[in-house]
Structure 1
Amino acid sequence: MDIAGARRSPAGLLVTWGLTRLLLLLFVLKVFVFPGPDVTSDVSVIYQGWYDVLRTGTFPLDDVTWQYPPAAALAILSPGLLPFLPYATAFFVLAFLADLVAFSLLLYAGLRPGRSLRGVWVWVVGVPLLGPTVYARYDVMVTAVAVAALLAGARHPRVMGVLVGFGAMLKVWPALLLVAVRRRRTWMATAVTAAGLAALFSVAMPGAFAFLTFQADRGTEVESLGSLVFHVARQYGWDGQVLLNYGSVEFLGPWVNVVSTAALALTGLAFGWLLLWRLTATRFEAHTAADAAFVAVLMFTTTSRVISPQYMVWLIGLAAVCLCFRASRMGVPALIVLVASFVTVLEFPIYFGNVVASDGLGVTLLFLRNGLLVVAAVLAAVRLWRSTASPEAEAPLPAHATLTTEETSVSP
């Protein structure tokens, strides 16, 4: 589809979004059966179990699978807003609405003067690549908040801060959206919002921060970058196990703690690089906050001890915001993330049994997906550095040249 034509009439976007989202709803409602294990069981069993506990005014203190900041309770309780629907159905409807909110914000941003529709196309195409898992986890709701925060940043710094603070209390990672933010108002609004929510939940509901202990005790999940060590080691007689542990399928046994520690060290190095970049960067433009947020979340996701399939929706959302700006240099990393998202739906849920068994197909899919994430992270980091911190940082193309380059080279 020609982007220039889509700019004049977003009908193609609306039709594509509508058809793909209808298909996702049909899968989660089990009108159609998606290959692999049932991804909706997390909602109908785990989330609904938490819902029953949270309604009593306390967090699930004895459940180690509860590993989320306190505002996550709002997402789990939200299906109560639709009491005329069964819990799972209500959750899927709300996930669909969160998707719609993100789509609408990206479309509005893309239609503004000087912006691009590439971003909304990334969202329209990228989300269904992950399959029904997107609507069977609350990450799409968090991503909608993050998208809104980044798009609000330029004109409404306090609104961005409030949304970042709220998002961080939903699932922590939106705090990384501040990595390139220089306005004190945004930081203050974030701190006040997060502190206010933390205090409110601490007083109102026992166990608001028990998730910190549960997170610290996690091992190496079978889809993470570090897990590749054990997938290969199993071929040579590694004496360990693959078990459901802390709510995910993890490797347990010799050397697991070493690999988990190495993953934490990589995350620490990523943080150090981001800090160095922030101290070195001298060129900040309208798109820099989105580009830096995308790089930060991409680096932290790639080095994490856990790379659950739904984490990819974070990257799709941030990549979409980046590409709303014509001057963003994240086009190729965003494309790599889309390819990695397609590989993700192959490794989970379609061939997840092969991944757990560490057979040739499963290991190949993991090497490919995680390799793509590593390439995307490195390439995105290099581009961010060169455009903002390098002494020879390139000046942006003139508006008419950027329009020609972007609108003629992208055809979703």
Structure 2
Amino acid sequence: MSAAAGRHASGPEPTFPAPDPDAGQRAASWWRTATSWWTGDGHGHQPPVWWRHVRRALGAAWVWILLFLLSRAWVLREWYDKYQFIRSDVNYYLWWLNHDVGITERLVEYPLPVVWLLDSLRVFGNDQNTYQLAFGLAMAALDAAFCVLLWRRGTLRALLFWNAFVTFFGALIWFRYDMAPAFVVGVAALLVTRHPRVSGALVALGAGLKLWPAMLIAPLMGRSRAAVLRTVWFAVTGAALAGLAFLHGGWQRLISPLTWQSDRGLQVESVPATWLMWQRSRDPRGWTVEMSKYNAFEIFGPGTDAWMRFSDVVMALAVLSAACMVVVVFVRKQLPADLLALAMTSIVLFMLVANKTLSPQYLLWLGTPVAALLALAHTHTMRARAHLLAALTLFAAFLTQQVYPVFYGQIIGAIPTVKHTGVLVARNALLLVMAVIATVWTWADLTAERAAGRHDTPDEVADDDLSDELFEVGFDAAALKQIDRLDEPARPGRRGD
């Protein structure tokens, strides 16, 4: 029997319904309805009453205080049980601070404002345990302060992201001073249009602590009044810090962090070292991983010089991209806060990918500007971008903790494993993809025709007004009422977050 005869013998040919031409519209409508529950964007899809009660509870301070305490308690327990060795850098700081050498030889890899900060913590005690506690509490205080700023900004998504980020990233946030520059950069992004003077000064302070934030001033410049204020306060604050550092340590100490970084080799966690680390995991002959004189594990062997030159090229491209942003922002009269935050995020990602000395704690640089982007995003497109970048950042934070401290021994050991090195490769590939995405989005908006006339829209002003009200009333019932209003039907010139 033929195949055709067999089909007819078993019954009639099956029929399939015609494609529904409205399926895409219904799916889009469903998506707008679902997202409006959270964002309250006023597209005619209002959330049910029970969801309003959930949102009101999420706006209550006690919920976020409880979430903060539970998440940090989990991180603290993991550190205490498994990873106490990560506090070694704090011991290194204290050893140098107690060492009887002049300021020109003390912690020369760090800018002098960092030395001032680290030295100030010795007021609580000069023994190792007391200093570790003071240092950890200082970084935890910055973490808590950033949470408070996000809550008062009235952006629950950003606050939820930051708490998740710290949980995925782990206790390293308390035992590296990188939380300090990350904090000031995040606050600078949050206040980029509302308080331009403070924003510019904070970017300069971040540059004084870690050097790289100086590049973040590029998209914040321009011809608008806010841009001029940011630039002036950045210049004044930066000049003041540089002047004080020069008076304290002289010219050689002022530039020693730059020369220290430029002389370093290829750190094993860096993106430029990814291919060599992968090759080493498959056949360790020919490559060695050692602690260098720069207090970092670096890879040595065939190809390291070429990849360091590649790192220099990518870093030059990052600087060139930032310089081009300066030109564009002077052509454009004014740019909105969310685009500025996106530009800052793209610069941070570019720096992470290009940096031959990338360390695990550097991912903190990314967490705070992404949180600020979530807080400032005011259009559907920018919110979607912020959500994607936030999700990828959380994944990158999780992978970073797996790289260090969880699997670090299996990655840098004499006999590395392919499986564990693969985690490092995946993390670095993710950072590269994120850098490309964020850079493309930034330049697409910067060069779009509509960017020329895109000022602080009524929606942005309305959101800032609400944020100011939340900032003033603090943790009280008035703030909860304002948050609940986000679920009411939107009026022209107003939006929900």
TM-score range, shorter chain: 0.7 to 0.9
In structure 2, the gaps of 5 or more residues are 1-37, 39-50, 464-485, 488-497
- Distance of aligned partners of 1:238 and 1:42 in 2 relative to their CA distance in 1, 3 Å threshold: same
Match in the other structure for 2:121: 79
In structure 1, the gaps of 5 or more residues are 405-412
Deviation string 1:178-209 (CA, Å, 9 cap, x unpaired) is 12112222212212212221221222235343
1:58 aligns with 2:106: no
**Whole-angstrom distance in 1 between the partners of 2:397 and 2:148:** 22
Q: Report SS of the residue matched to 1:243.
A: strand
Deviation string 1:339-361 (CA, Å, 9 cap, x unpaired) is 01001101110000121134212
Match in the other structure for 2:260: 214
Match in the other structure for 2:421: 363
**Whole-angstrom distance in 2 between the partners of 1:168 and 1:24:** 29
Report deviation, 1:18. Answer: 1.5
| From 288, 293, 300, the counterpart of 1:241 | 288
Report deviation, 1:384. Answer: 1.9
Deviation string 1:111-168 (CA, Å, 9 cap, x unpaired) is 1xxxx32112221110121111110101112211112222232132222222221111
| Alignment RMSD | 2.8
| From 176, 180, 189, the counterpart of 2:219 | 180
Match in the other structure for 2:365: 314
Mean CA deviation greater in 230-239 or 218-227:
230-239
> Are the counterparts in 1 of residues 59 and 156 from structure 2 also a CA contact under 8 Å?
no
| From 70, 76, 81, the counterpart of 1:33 | 81
1:381 aligns with 2:439: yes
Aligned pairs, number? 389
> What pairs up with 1:144-163 in 2 under 5 angstroms?
144-163=183-202
Question: Hey, which of these two has a bigger chunk of helix by percent?
Answer: 2
1:43 aligns with 2:90: yes
> Are the counterparts in 1 of residues 204 and 214 from structure 2 also a CA contact under 8 Å?
yes
Match in the other structure for 1:348: 404
Q: Structure 2-normalised TM-score? A: 0.72
> Are the counterparts in 2 of residues 330 and 383 from structure 1 also a CA contact under 8 Å?
no
Report deviation, 1:237. Answer: 5.9
Deviation string 1:309-353 (CA, Å, 9 cap, x unpaired) is 111111011100110013243221121011010011011100001
Q: Structure 1-normalised TM-score? A: 0.86
1:133 aligns with 2:191: no
Report deviation, 1:255. Answer: 2.6
- Distance of aligned partners of 1:81 and 1:118 in 2 relative to their CA distance in 1, 3 Å threshold: farther
**Whole-angstrom distance in 1 between the partners of 2:121 and 2:171:** 18
Match in the other structure for 2:162: 123
Which one-letter code corresponds to 1:169 in the other structure? G
**Whole-angstrom distance in 1 between the partners of 2:320 and 2:212:** 17
- Distance of aligned partners of 1:164 and 1:274 in 2 relative to their CA distance in 1, 3 Å threshold: closer
> What pairs up with 1:254-265 in 2 under 5 angstroms?
254-265=302-313
| From 269, 286, 300, the counterpart of 1:252 | 300
Deviation string 1:249-289 (CA, Å, 9 cap, x unpaired) is 00123331221110110121223233334534647112222
> Are the counterparts in 2 of residues 179 and 289 from structure 1 also a CA contact under 8 Å?
no
Which one-letter code corresponds to 1:337 in the other structure? T
Mean CA deviation greater in 170-179 or 91-100:
170-179
